[in-house]
Chains A and B, each alone.
Chain A
Amino acid sequence: MTDRAKRKLRFPYQMAAFFIRDLQIWLSYRLSLFLDIVGLVGTALAFFLLGLAFEGYIPPMLEQYGGYFPFVIIGIAFFGFQSNGLYGLSGSLREEQLQGTLEPMLSSRITPLSLSLATNTFSFLRTLVRAVLFLVLGALVFSVDLSSMNIPSAIVVLALSLPPFLALGMFSGAFTLAFKRGDPVQLVYGGLSVLLSGLYFPYQLLPQPLQWLAHAFPLTHALSGLRAALLSGASFSELSTQIIWLLGMGVVLLPLGIVALKLGHRKARQDGSYTQY
């Protein structure tokens, strides 16, 4: 069997390895586990109270969502997926460097793509659970109307948003490998996406040039599609714009991300800097 074929066979084991390792480490920090739940309830409550402050007045732009709280809770519930993609790989690489586990890990000849996917497995599922909990909390405790939600549409939009998020994480990981600190992807993209992508307020409030710029962020289309699917029950055809944007971004960014990550690994090998941080 060729080395390439062997590597493909290893991938399920590698996914399982990262998932179980991260679960075991997460469970070993019991206080953190408790604080995660407290944080989730606290965040939902804070935005609920903010929504209450404007009760009785719903800006026309938010009418389709039924108010500010339903709008923002979808944003904060699903923003975690971008954070995972964007910060997951570089954060994990840096942590492995600090712990001295990166070199033994690379000795298993894990490919850059497998590493990017596997290292995000646990945090992806954790974010998914958080997102579902946010929605359940929103619906049961804070009366968010999810009665018309279209789950298949939401799953498709979420699934299509993952490749571009993952690709951005690969760019970020490449910078971590090559330059250790000063990652412009996290700094510029991470910062701007929070401001422009309609996380806390509709991006249509922004001046026209910034609205155009907002279209360059996968998060804009992901959140817009998820809000439409979960709050208005939008069908696939009604979400075609978001789906095309996300699909196009995935097709373009993912191969570029893989190339960037390979270049990052090559630079680290040339400089002998895998263990430097």
Chain B
Amino acid sequence: MTAQEKILPKPLVSVRGLYKSYPAGRKFPWFRSKPPILALDGFDMDIFPGKIHAIIGPNGAGKTTLLKILWNLIQPDGGLIEFDRLADDDTVLVSGEERGFYYRLNGWANLVFFGRLSGNSRQETLSRATQLAERLRLSGILNRRYQTYSGGERQKLAILRALLQAPRLMMIDDLAKGLDPQATRELTDILLELARDGMSILLATHRLDLAAQLCDTITLIHRGKNIATGSPQKLSRQVFPHRRYRIVLSGDEVTARKILAGSITSDIEIKDGHLSAELAVSDEKALATLNLTLAQKGISIIELSPFEEELETVYNRLLQDSDSNDG
């Protein structure tokens, strides 16, 4: 057993070599079949218990297909999915779409309907829904018809419905789609709370800011393939292997430029008589050498702070690399 295997728990869901293509219809006027659309192309992924995992990728990358396959609404063409002691009811999918409830019914009636479908009595559903509604701060609106709900209230009600099943894995498609900052914050707080309680959450989203803020692991999917997986920091390291720092200096500009020449990744800016730039160095030793050289040449370091690239930059670089590798 390797050291890594000792540390990592067994995945809750393990996906290996998943393939899915959709028929693309026929060409008019001869009705020859068009080539199928490949949605997933040998996709691999592990989801670990109690973690928030995001799937990010461009439109049409295969995110929704993956979630629906995991939820058994779409049949894959090939590949293997292993669930670790997950029963049917342990997995739920929450769609970011605003539809999905009966507009003429109020929140309670909608919840009781879906609760009964899952085999719970009215009393069981109401009792559980009451507790969850308080936790999600929805109690005040459940007497109103669904058609009067705002986008944020609709997404929260969808999460409440999912939680009625007490799932171990909650998948959310298009998280926070169309929500304002306050509703988004409320939603992310709820998800963090659920993850703290041990629930695994799988998000498909375009919101890179939310993915970076919420997730333990991010998988980048592109053209149906997993092109990178890891924590936001790990993905950043994958693209930018050197450690990144912001440095502010005081001293002779020409000398500073010469010393930093091999390490700077941005233009040197001069502000209030100080020079500032971004650096990339291979390790601590290289940084210490740089410090020493600057000190020897009479240039003082006013500020040196590490930083990670924004996820959006990492995302764009990974997509570009994937495109260039594909030719």
**Which residue of chain B lies nearest to A269 when distances are taken between CB atoms in the complex?**
B75
For chain A, residues 100 to 126, give those with C-beta under 8 angstroms from any C-beta of chain B.
100-101, 103-110
Residues B74 and A272 in contact, CB atoms below 8 Å apart: yes
A99 and B75 contact, Cβ closer than 8 Å, known pairs A6-B119, A20-B113, A108-B118: no
A13 and B121 contact, Cβ closer than 8 Å, known pairs A101-B102, A103-B100, A272-B65: yes
Q: Closest CB-CB distance, A71 to chain B, in whole Å?
A: 39
Residues A14 and B102 in contact, CB atoms below 8 Å apart: no
Q: Closest CB-CB distance, B286 to chain A, in whole Å?
A: 51
User: Any chain B CB within 8 A of the CB of A31?
Assistant: no
Q: Which residues of A contact B89 (CB under 8 A)?
A: 109
Residues B101 and A101 in contact, CB atoms below 8 Å apart: yes
Q: How far is the CA of A153 from the CA of B152 in the complex (A)?
A: 56
**Which residue of chain A lies nearest to B65 when distances are taken between CB atoms in the complex?**
A272
Interface string of B91-135 (1 = CB under 8 A from A): 011010101111111000100111011111100000000000000
Q: Which residues of A contact B87 (CB under 8 A)?
A: 3
User: Any chain A CB within 8 A of the CB of B7?
Assistant: no
User: Any chain A CB within 8 A of the CB of B16?
Assistant: no
Residues B99 and A13 in contact, CB atoms below 8 Å apart: no
**Which residue of chain B lies nearest to A109 when distances are taken between CB atoms in the complex?**
B88
**Which residue of chain A lies nearest to B74 when distances are taken between CB atoms in the complex?**
A272
A99 and B102 contact, Cβ closer than 8 Å, known pairs A14-B116, A272-B74: yes
User: Any chain A CB within 8 A of the CB of B23?
Assistant: yes
Residues A107 and B100 in contact, CB atoms below 8 Å apart: no
Residues B99 and A100 in contact, CB atoms below 8 Å apart: yes
Q: Closest CB-CB distance, A111 to chain B, in whole Å?
A: 11
Q: Which residues of B contact A25 (CB under 8 A)?
A: 102, 104-105
Interface string of A12-42 (1 = CB under 8 A from B): 0110110011001100110000000000000
Contact of A272 among B22, B99, B118 (CB under 8 A): B22
Residues A107 and B105 in contact, CB atoms below 8 Å apart: no
Q: Closest CB-CB distance, A118 to chain B, in whole Å?
A: 9
A10 and B118 contact, Cβ closer than 8 Å, known pairs A24-B105, A99-B102: yes
**Which residue of chain B lies nearest to A100 when distances are taken between CB atoms in the complex?**
B99
Q: Closest CB-CB distance, A274 to chain B, in whole Å?
A: 6
Interface string of A248-276 (1 = CB under 8 A from B): 00000000000000000010011110100
For chain B, residues 299 to 323, give those with C-beta under 8 angstroms from any C-beta of chain A.
none
Contact of A270 among B75, B104, B105, B116 (CB under 8 A): B75
User: Any chain B CB within 8 A of the CB of A9?
Assistant: yes
Contact of B23 among A13, A20, A271 (CB under 8 A): A271
Q: How far is the CA of A9 from the CA of B304 in the complex (A)?
A: 65
Q: Which residues of A contact B93 (CB under 8 A)?
A: 103, 107
Residues B109 and A104 in contact, CB atoms below 8 Å apart: no
Q: Closest CB-CB distance, B94 to chain A, in whole Å?
A: 9
Q: Closest CB-CB distance, B91 to chain A, in whole Å?
A: 9
User: Any chain A CB within 8 A of the CB of B63?
Assistant: no
Q: How far is the CA of A10 from the CA of B214 in the complex (A)?
A: 36
**Which residue of chain B lies nearest to A118 when distances are taken between CB atoms in the complex?**
B117
Q: Which residues of A contact B65 (CB under 8 A)?
A: 272
Q: How far is the CA of A99 from the CA of B95 in the complex (A)?
A: 13
Q: How far is the CA of A25 from the CA of B22 in the complex (A)?
A: 36
Q: Which residues of B contact A270 (CB under 8 A)?
A: 74-75
Q: Which residues of A contact B103 (CB under 8 A)?
A: 99
Residues A271 and B117 in contact, CB atoms below 8 Å apart: no
Q: Closest CB-CB distance, A135 to chain B, in whole Å?
A: 31
A13 and B120 contact, Cβ closer than 8 Å, known pairs A21-B109, A274-B73: yes
User: Any chain A CB within 8 A of the CB of B71?
Assistant: yes
**Which residue of chain B lies nearest to A9 when distances are taken between CB atoms in the complex?**
B119
Q: Which residues of B contact A103 (CB under 8 A)?
A: 73, 93, 95, 100
Residues A101 and B99 in contact, CB atoms below 8 Å apart: yes
Residues B113 and A21 in contact, CB atoms below 8 Å apart: yes
Q: Closest CB-CB distance, A93 to chain B, in whole Å?
A: 14
Q: How far is the CA of A13 from the CA of B100 in the complex (A)?
A: 20
Q: Closest CB-CB distance, A11 to chain B, in whole Å?
A: 9
Residues B73 and A106 in contact, CB atoms below 8 Å apart: yes
**Which residue of chain A lies nearest to B103 when distances are taken between CB atoms in the complex?**
A99
Q: How far is the CA of A9 from the CA of B119 in the complex (A)?
A: 7
**Which residue of chain B lies nearest to A7 when distances are taken between CB atoms in the complex?**
B119
Q: Could you pull out 14 A-B pairs where Cβ atoms are within 8 angstroms?
A: A10-B119, A13-B120, A13-B121, A14-B116, A14-B117, A20-B113, A21-B109, A25-B102, A25-B104, A101-B100, A105-B114, A109-B89, A269-B73, A270-B74
Query: B residues near A, CB below 8 A?
Result: 20, 22-23, 39, 65, 68, 71-75, 87-89, 92-93, 95, 97, 99-105, 109, 112-114, 116-121, 161
A21-B109, A107-B92 known, 14 other contacts, Cβ within 8 Å: A3-B87, A6-B119, A9-B119, A10-B117, A14-B117, A17-B116, A21-B102, A25-B105, A101-B100, A101-B102, A108-B114, A108-B117, A272-B73, A272-B74
- Which 9 residue pairs spanning A and B have beta carbons closest together? A100-B99, A17-B116, A10-B119, A108-B117, A272-B74, A269-B75, A13-B116, A28-B104, A100-B100
